[in-house]
Amino acid sequence: MDKDRFTCTQKTCFIFEFFPKQVQFHRKKAPLNSSRSPQRTDSQSIRQLKRLLAERLERIACMIDLLQQTHENWMVTRKKDRVFMETKTYDFNDAVDRLANEGFRSDEYLLEVDYERKWGML
């Protein structure tokens, strides 16, 4: 968004998923190979998932801390398998640059940006 034009308000929403696509739960195939039958797993897979989730949740906490240090006006909410950070008062370009400068990749979060037109001409 052009910082010199105030014709729109910007709503920035970062979404941090607990289970990103990189985290896969390794399973052995079920005996009947049916999509409805329960799938087997073993203790090693569960321990591996525990390690991956611990690392993932720590990365999410670091990203949240970084964004909150950069800008104070965030609304942080949690749902079943993800955390949402929303603001209307901070430009998403600055937030993305800040995360990238600290070593966070763009595939570690989802970004939604909504623009709402103010009254007047664009």
Predicted confidence at residue 95, as pLDDT, reads 94
- Beta strands in 18-118, from DSSP E residues, in sequence order: 75-79, 82-87, 110-117
Mean pLDDT value across residues 82-107:
94
SS3 at position 28: strand
Q: Which pLDDT belongs to residue 22?
A: 55
Give the pLDDT score at 102: 95
Is the pLDDT at 5 greater than 50, yes or no?
Answer: yes
pLDDT confidence bin for 29, thresholds 50/70/90: very low
The mean pLDDT value for 45-52 works out to 88
Give the start-to-end residue ranges of the domains of the chain: 8-21+42-75+86-122
